[in-house]
Amino acid sequence: MSQHRWLRAAALLLTLTAALIFTLPLGGGEPPVVINNTAVPPVPTLDAGRVARGAELYAQNCAQCHGAQLEGAADWKRPLPDGSLPPPPHDDSGHTWHHPDGLLLGIIADGGDPSDGSKMPRFGERLSPEEMRSILEFIKSSWGTENREFQWWITATTDGR
């Protein structure tokens, strides 16, 4: 009878081990992001210190136009009388997460493209590259999982522009 208990315990242990092996992602970390059958490494974890610094910098440099809660201008998709576009939101309701990091950092540094209807000024002379990355990290912290994954995927699969 003790041999029967031992066999049941061994079978249970083997079953639990197999279940654990098949449910954990390879490498023990987060699973890769896969879109259109193209996999990229897992989404990088946001750095809490950088997010906090980015929140301060965003409040000082961006909130006046893009809103304290990243909500953008009201009716941001409708051109103004001069043909320019109002500042878009940077939260999930906008389109910031559609673009790779390199493009977003370039827009912060060099300003928006007037031919695209943007009046966004350049911040490259006012903010360091590290400060601009902190602002972007703060913005990313407001996005849901799906949008973070898409934005990471587009960043990882393009040259950044």
The H-or-E segment that residue 58 falls in is: helix 48-61
Residue 61 domain-assigned (yes or no): yes
pLDDT band at residue 12 using 50, 70 and 90 as cut-offs = very low
Q: pLDDT tens across 48-87, in order?
A: 999 999 999 999 999 999 999 999 999 999 999 999 999 9
C-alpha pair distances (Å), 95 with each of 13, 88, 99, 150: 49, 8, 8, 11
In a domain, 137, yes or no: yes
Q: Three-state DSSP class for 124? A: coil
Q: Total domain count for the chain? A: 1
Beta-ladder partners of 26: none
Residue corresponding to tokens 């009046």: 119
Domain assignment present for 133 = yes
Residue 83 within any structural domain of the chain: yes
The distance in angstroms from the start CA to the end CA of the chain is: 69
Task: Kindly report the CATH number assigned to the domain that includes residue 37.
Answer: 1.10.760.10
pTM: 0.79
